[in-house]
């Protein structure tokens, strides 16, 4: 039986404590990064991630649908963020030549410059809030755990399973 077994309606207290702590830490980390980026560079962490994906892509451009998939969010959320980034002049949009429904998003020169200035902020925060708190052995163990979770998520993406029939809306 694993910690995530469906046999029980509730998580065991020790497992629930780990899950709750994981959520709390990841939300706090995201909050710190988001706040610092907004204060120092006028963009959110999500907007930063969009700029990174565009900078790393061929010709600094991606289809909106591919961009949404790459940052693991809903297309509507990416559309909202692209609207904000476009208003700031950091990205531009144009319809796909072959497919009028598709939209290409391009990183502008201003967007590349903002990204270049914001990158040291992110790197500093990653070191300060994340890496400096653990040693090399802990980092290696965390990498193994993340790999295990990533593989598990990949498997569930390939073979999705629904919730057990007896689980109600309160099951967590």
The pLDDT of residue 10 is 85
Number of residues that this document lists for the chain: 172
pLDDT tens-digit map of 55-67: 999 999 999 989 9
CA distance linking residue 13 with residue 86, whole number of Å: 46
State in words which class domain 13-157 has: mainly alpha
The pLDDT of residue 1 is 46
pLDDT tens-digit map of 102-150: 889 999 999 999 999 999 999 999 999 999 999 999 999 999 999 999 9
For the chain, which residues make up each domain, given as ranges?
13-157
State whether residue 57 is helix, strand or coil: coil
The pLDDT of residue 163 is 62
What are the φ and ψ backbone dihedral angles of 80, each rounded to 5 degrees?
-60, -50
pLDDT tens-digit map of 24-44: 999 999 999 999 999 999 999
Query: Phi/psi class of residue 96: alpha, beta or left (left: φ > 0; alpha: ψ in -120 to 50)?
Result: beta
CA distance linking residue 29 with residue 48, whole number of Å: 15
In this predicted structure, the answer to whether residue 165 has a pLDDT above a threshold of 50 is yes
The pLDDT of residue 28 is 95
The pLDDT of residue 91 is 98
The pLDDT of residue 8 is 63
- For the segment 63-82, the average pLDDT, to the nearest whole number, is 89
Helical spans, DSSP H, in the chain: 13-41, 45-56, 64-70, 75-87, 109-129, 136-158
Q: Work out the burial of residue 11: count CB atoms within 10 Å of its CB; fewer than 13 is exposed, 13-18 middle, 19 or more buried.
A: middle
């Amino acid at each position: 039986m694993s910690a995530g077994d469906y046999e029980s309606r509730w998580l065991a207290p020790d497992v629930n404590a780990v899950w709750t702590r994981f959520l709390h830490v990841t939300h706090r980390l995201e909050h710190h990064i988001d706040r610092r980026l907004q204060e120092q560079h006028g963009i959110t962490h999500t907007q930063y991630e969009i700029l990174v994906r565009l900078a790393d892509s061929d010709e600094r451009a991606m289809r909106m649908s591919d961009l949404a998939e790459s940052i693991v969010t809903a297309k509507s959320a990416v559309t909202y963020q692209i609207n904000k980034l476009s208003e700031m002049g950091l990205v531009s949009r144009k319809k796909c030549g072959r497919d009028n429904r598709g939209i290409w998003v391009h990183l502008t020169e201003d967007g590349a410059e903002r990204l270049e200035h914001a990158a040291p902020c992110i790197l500093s925060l990653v070191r300060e809030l994340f890496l400096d708190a653990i040693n090399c052995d802990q980092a290696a163990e965390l990498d193994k755990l993340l790999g295990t979770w990533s593989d598990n998520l990949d498997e569930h993406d390939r073979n999705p399973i629904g919730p057990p029939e007896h689980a109600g809306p309160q099951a967590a």
